[in-house]
Structure 1
Amino acid sequence: MTTQIELKSMKFYAYHGVGPQEQQVGNLFIIDLLLTVNVIQAIESDSLDDTVNYAEVYDVVKSEMEQPSKLIEHVAGRIVKALKIRFPKIEHVQIKLAKLNPPFGGDIQSAAVLLND
Protein backbone atom coordinates (compact mmCIF):
# COMPACT_ATOMS: atom_id res chain seq x y z
CA MET A 1 0.00 0.00 0.00
CA THR A 2 1.37 3.40 -0.89
CA THR A 3 0.36 6.74 0.45
CA GLN A 4 1.28 10.34 -0.08
CA ILE A 5 2.91 12.41 2.61
CA GLU A 6 2.60 16.15 2.14
CA LEU A 7 4.72 18.87 3.67
CA LYS A 8 3.28 22.25 2.71
CA SER A 9 4.55 25.80 2.82
CA MET A 10 8.00 25.20 4.23
CA LYS A 11 9.54 28.67 4.35
CA PHE A 12 13.23 29.42 3.91
CA TYR A 13 15.21 32.59 3.48
CA ALA A 14 17.95 31.80 0.98
CA TYR A 15 20.33 33.27 -1.59
CA HIS A 16 19.30 31.71 -4.89
CA GLY A 17 19.24 33.79 -8.04
CA VAL A 18 21.08 34.85 -11.15
CA GLY A 19 21.42 38.51 -10.24
CA PRO A 20 24.02 39.84 -7.81
CA GLN A 21 21.29 41.45 -5.69
CA GLU A 22 19.54 38.10 -5.20
CA GLN A 23 22.83 36.47 -4.22
CA GLN A 24 23.65 39.20 -1.68
CA VAL A 25 20.26 40.20 -0.27
CA GLY A 26 18.43 36.89 -0.59
CA ASN A 27 14.73 36.20 -0.78
CA LEU A 28 11.94 34.18 0.78
CA PHE A 29 11.18 30.79 -0.77
CA ILE A 30 8.28 28.42 -0.16
CA ILE A 31 8.45 24.68 -0.79
CA ASP A 32 5.63 22.16 -1.05
CA LEU A 33 6.52 18.48 -1.11
CA LEU A 34 4.39 15.50 -1.99
CA LEU A 35 6.13 12.19 -1.25
CA THR A 36 4.82 8.81 -2.36
CA VAL A 37 5.90 6.22 0.20
CA ASN A 38 5.14 2.55 0.82
CA VAL A 39 3.75 2.59 4.36
CA ILE A 40 2.32 -0.91 4.69
CA GLN A 41 4.78 -1.81 7.47
CA ALA A 42 4.15 1.46 9.34
CA ILE A 43 0.40 0.86 9.26
CA GLU A 44 0.92 -2.45 11.05
CA SER A 45 3.89 -1.62 13.29
CA ASP A 46 3.14 1.97 14.38
CA SER A 47 6.91 2.48 14.19
CA LEU A 48 8.63 5.55 12.81
CA ASP A 49 11.34 3.25 11.43
CA ASP A 50 8.80 1.93 8.91
CA THR A 51 7.95 5.27 7.34
CA VAL A 52 9.62 8.59 6.56
CA ASN A 53 10.42 10.93 9.45
CA TYR A 54 8.93 14.32 8.52
CA ALA A 55 11.39 16.24 10.69
CA GLU A 56 14.31 14.57 8.92
CA VAL A 57 12.75 15.37 5.53
CA TYR A 58 12.57 19.00 6.61
CA ASP A 59 16.24 18.92 7.66
CA VAL A 60 17.30 17.58 4.24
CA VAL A 61 15.35 20.34 2.48
CA LYS A 62 16.80 22.97 4.82
CA SER A 63 20.34 21.76 4.19
CA GLU A 64 19.89 21.99 0.41
CA MET A 65 18.27 25.43 0.67
CA GLU A 66 21.32 26.70 2.56
CA GLN A 67 23.53 26.07 -0.50
CA PRO A 68 23.22 29.08 -2.85
CA SER A 69 22.41 28.36 -6.50
CA LYS A 70 21.63 30.50 -9.51
CA LEU A 71 18.55 28.55 -10.60
CA ILE A 72 15.63 27.33 -8.52
CA GLU A 73 15.42 24.42 -10.98
CA HIS A 74 18.86 23.34 -9.76
CA VAL A 75 17.86 23.67 -6.10
CA ALA A 76 14.66 21.66 -6.61
CA GLY A 77 16.60 18.93 -8.41
CA ARG A 78 19.18 18.74 -5.61
CA ILE A 79 16.41 18.43 -3.02
CA VAL A 80 14.78 15.55 -4.92
CA LYS A 81 18.10 13.71 -5.27
CA ALA A 82 19.00 14.21 -1.60
CA LEU A 83 15.61 12.97 -0.42
CA LYS A 84 15.74 9.86 -2.58
CA ILE A 85 19.24 9.04 -1.32
CA ARG A 86 18.40 9.63 2.36
CA PHE A 87 15.01 7.88 2.31
CA PRO A 88 14.91 4.73 0.14
CA LYS A 89 11.23 4.24 1.07
CA ILE A 90 10.32 7.29 -1.06
CA GLU A 91 9.03 6.07 -4.41
CA HIS A 92 8.14 9.41 -5.98
CA VAL A 93 8.72 13.09 -5.18
CA GLN A 94 6.79 16.10 -6.36
CA ILE A 95 8.27 19.44 -5.35
CA LYS A 96 7.12 22.98 -5.89
CA LEU A 97 9.75 25.60 -5.12
CA ALA A 98 8.55 29.21 -5.30
CA LYS A 99 10.55 32.42 -5.04
CA LEU A 100 8.39 35.18 -3.59
CA ASN A 101 8.43 38.60 -5.22
CA PRO A 102 11.06 37.82 -7.86
CA PRO A 103 13.00 40.96 -8.82
CA PHE A 104 12.08 41.47 -12.44
CA GLY A 105 10.09 44.67 -12.36
CA GLY A 106 6.54 43.34 -12.40
CA ASP A 107 3.75 42.84 -9.90
CA ILE A 108 4.05 39.11 -9.28
CA GLN A 109 3.54 37.05 -6.15
CA SER A 110 6.01 34.31 -7.02
CA ALA A 111 7.91 32.42 -9.66
CA ALA A 112 8.00 28.67 -9.17
CA VAL A 113 9.19 25.38 -10.58
CA LEU A 114 7.27 22.15 -10.19
CA LEU A 115 9.30 18.95 -10.56
CA ASN A 116 7.93 15.41 -10.62
CA ASP A 117 10.41 12.61 -10.33
Structure 2
Amino acid sequence: MAFNTYNGVFAEEKKLGQKIEIDCEMDYPIETLVRTDELDETVSYADVYETIAEFVAHHNYNLIESLANNLLRELFKTYPMLDGIRLRIRKYSVPIAGIFDNVEIEVAGSK
Protein backbone atom coordinates (compact mmCIF):
# COMPACT_ATOMS: atom_id res chain seq x y z
CA MET A 1 0.00 0.00 0.00
CA ALA A 2 1.35 3.46 -0.81
CA PHE A 3 0.43 6.74 0.87
CA ASN A 4 1.58 10.35 0.96
CA THR A 5 2.24 11.38 4.57
CA TYR A 6 3.76 14.13 6.66
CA ASN A 7 5.71 11.96 9.09
CA GLY A 8 9.27 12.94 9.90
CA VAL A 9 11.61 14.89 12.12
CA PHE A 10 12.65 17.52 9.59
CA ALA A 11 10.57 20.58 8.71
CA GLU A 12 10.73 19.69 5.01
CA GLU A 13 9.08 16.35 5.70
CA LYS A 14 6.29 17.92 7.72
CA LYS A 15 5.69 20.60 5.08
CA LEU A 16 6.20 18.77 1.77
CA GLY A 17 5.35 15.25 2.84
CA GLN A 18 6.69 12.08 1.31
CA LYS A 19 5.68 8.70 0.00
CA ILE A 20 5.59 5.71 2.29
CA GLU A 21 4.71 2.12 1.53
CA ILE A 22 3.24 -0.28 4.06
CA ASP A 23 3.23 -4.07 3.85
CA CYS A 24 0.88 -5.84 6.26
CA GLU A 25 1.11 -9.57 6.95
CA MET A 26 -1.67 -11.03 9.06
CA ASP A 27 -1.65 -14.39 10.85
CA TYR A 28 -5.09 -15.95 10.75
CA PRO A 29 -5.63 -19.73 10.64
CA ILE A 30 -7.68 -19.93 7.45
CA GLU A 31 -7.01 -23.66 7.24
CA THR A 32 -9.28 -24.25 10.24
CA LEU A 33 -11.51 -21.16 10.42
CA VAL A 34 -12.57 -20.65 6.80
CA ARG A 35 -14.92 -23.52 6.02
CA THR A 36 -17.29 -21.92 3.53
CA ASP A 37 -17.01 -19.21 0.91
CA GLU A 38 -18.39 -16.51 3.25
CA LEU A 39 -16.51 -13.30 4.03
CA ASP A 40 -17.57 -13.32 7.69
CA GLU A 41 -15.25 -16.30 8.31
CA THR A 42 -12.13 -14.35 7.45
CA VAL A 43 -10.61 -10.87 7.59
CA SER A 44 -11.57 -8.54 4.75
CA TYR A 45 -8.49 -7.16 2.98
CA ALA A 46 -10.59 -4.19 1.90
CA ASP A 47 -11.44 -3.40 5.52
CA VAL A 48 -7.80 -3.71 6.59
CA TYR A 49 -6.75 -1.39 3.78
CA GLU A 50 -9.36 1.20 4.86
CA THR A 51 -8.25 0.95 8.49
CA ILE A 52 -4.61 1.54 7.52
CA ALA A 53 -5.45 4.34 5.06
CA GLU A 54 -7.59 6.16 7.64
CA PHE A 55 -4.96 5.78 10.36
CA VAL A 56 -2.13 7.04 8.14
CA ALA A 57 -4.24 9.99 6.93
CA HIS A 58 -5.04 11.17 10.46
CA HIS A 59 -1.83 10.49 12.40
CA ASN A 60 1.58 12.11 11.92
CA TYR A 61 4.66 11.23 13.93
CA ASN A 62 8.30 12.27 14.02
CA LEU A 63 9.35 8.62 13.71
CA ILE A 64 8.03 5.96 11.36
CA GLU A 65 8.72 3.58 14.25
CA SER A 66 5.99 5.39 16.19
CA LEU A 67 3.68 5.19 13.20
CA ALA A 68 4.34 1.45 12.94
CA ASN A 69 3.87 0.70 16.65
CA ASN A 70 0.66 2.73 16.93
CA LEU A 71 -0.74 1.28 13.71
CA LEU A 72 0.06 -2.22 14.98
CA ARG A 73 -1.95 -1.52 18.15
CA GLU A 74 -4.84 -0.11 16.10
CA LEU A 75 -4.95 -3.19 13.88
CA PHE A 76 -5.01 -5.57 16.87
CA LYS A 77 -7.78 -3.48 18.46
CA THR A 78 -9.83 -3.45 15.24
CA TYR A 79 -9.18 -7.08 14.26
CA PRO A 80 -8.85 -9.03 17.54
CA MET A 81 -9.29 -12.33 15.69
CA LEU A 82 -5.79 -12.01 14.20
CA ASP A 83 -3.11 -14.14 15.84
CA GLY A 84 -0.24 -11.97 14.62
CA ILE A 85 0.59 -8.94 12.50
CA ARG A 86 3.83 -7.86 10.82
CA LEU A 87 4.18 -4.36 9.35
CA ARG A 88 6.97 -3.11 7.12
CA ILE A 89 7.07 0.62 6.42
CA ARG A 90 9.30 2.08 3.73
CA LYS A 91 9.92 5.80 3.56
CA TYR A 92 11.15 7.54 0.42
CA SER A 93 12.77 10.97 -0.09
CA VAL A 94 14.48 10.92 3.28
CA PRO A 95 16.48 14.15 3.68
CA ILE A 96 19.83 12.60 4.60
CA ALA A 97 23.06 12.41 2.66
CA GLY A 98 23.60 9.08 0.96
CA ILE A 99 22.57 6.92 -1.95
CA PHE A 100 19.58 4.68 -1.26
CA ASP A 101 16.08 4.00 -2.53
CA ASN A 102 14.33 4.11 0.84
CA VAL A 103 14.60 3.37 4.53
CA GLU A 104 12.54 0.58 6.02
CA ILE A 105 11.51 -0.58 9.46
CA GLU A 106 9.57 -3.63 10.57
CA VAL A 107 7.44 -4.32 13.64
CA ALA A 108 5.57 -7.45 14.58
CA GLY A 109 3.24 -8.54 17.31
CA SER A 110 1.13 -11.47 18.34
CA LYS A 111 -1.61 -12.25 20.84
TM-score by length of 2: 0.91
What is the match of residue 52 of structure 2? 61
Q: Which residue of 84, 92, 104 maps to 1:100?
A: 92
- 1:100 is displaced (CA, Å) by 1.1
1:116 aligns with 2:108: yes
Q: How far did residue 84 of structure 1 move?
A: 0.7
Unaligned runs of 5+ in 1: 1-9
Secondary structure at the counterpart of residue 112 of structure 1: strand
Q: Could you tell me how far apart the structure 2 residues matched to 1:89 and 1:99 are?
A: 29
Query: What is the TM-score normalised by the length of structure 1?
Result: 0.87
Offset of residue 106 of structure 1: 1.6
Aligned-pair CA distance for 1:95: 0.7
Task: Quote how far apart the aligned CAs of 1:111 are.
Answer: 0.8
Q: Which has the higher strand share?
A: 1
Identity among equivalent positions (%) equals: 25
* C-alpha separation in 1, matches of 2:53 and 2:98: 29
Aligned equivalent of 1:85: 77
Q: Give unmatched runs, 5+ long, in structure 2.
A: none
Query: Conserved in 2, the CA contact under 8 Å of 1:102 and 1:108?
Result: no
